[in-house]
Amino acid sequence: MKTVLFALRVSELERSLAFYTTVGYVNLGTVPFDDGSSLVWLRLPAEKSVSLELVHRPADGPVEVGGFQHFAIEVDSLTETLARLTTAGLDPADPELPGGPEGPKTSRLLDPDGYRLELVEWPPSGPPTFE
């Protein structure tokens, strides 16, 4: 088995789509429904298939983020990624070293609905493995 994708319900589809494409996601297409709702499938450039689904259901009312902690995106260079995102008008948090100087470098970024993305640059030794 493997994880295929996860879905986030969003309040304003175009605003969220603009955010996620600025982060670096590629829009694979939209699935519209007769009731005015829609799904948009996204993936990061290095991914082979859809990994994120934006769900827009205006009839369901406002999006309330609760119980959701975050999802993480691996980046090659956190410094370069933060500079690119800041230049593009996004507001990532300052870098952190949660595992100390030899561990990963991380930053946080909130999407328009308040979902938190964690940006992670692994150390040269790579991500932790559990076997």
- Identify whether the C-beta of residue 31 lies closer than 8 Å to the C-beta of residue 93: no
pTM for this structure?
Answer: 0.91
| Distance, C-alpha 10 to centroid of its chain | 13
| Neighbour order of strands in the sheet with 52-56 | 6-9, 52-56, 38-43, 26-32
Q: Which residue reads 């996601």 in tokens?
A: 25
Mean pLDDT of the region 91-111: 94
**Tokens of residue 50, six digits:** 């859809």
The DSSP symbol for 72 reads E
Q: What are the pLDDT digits (tens) for 23-49?
A: 999 999 999 999 999 999 999 999 999
Taking the C-alpha atoms of residue 20 and residue 26, their distance in angstroms, rounded to an integer, is 8
CATH topology assigned to domain 68-131: 2,3-Dihydroxybiphenyl 1,2-Dioxygenase; domain 1 (3.10.180)
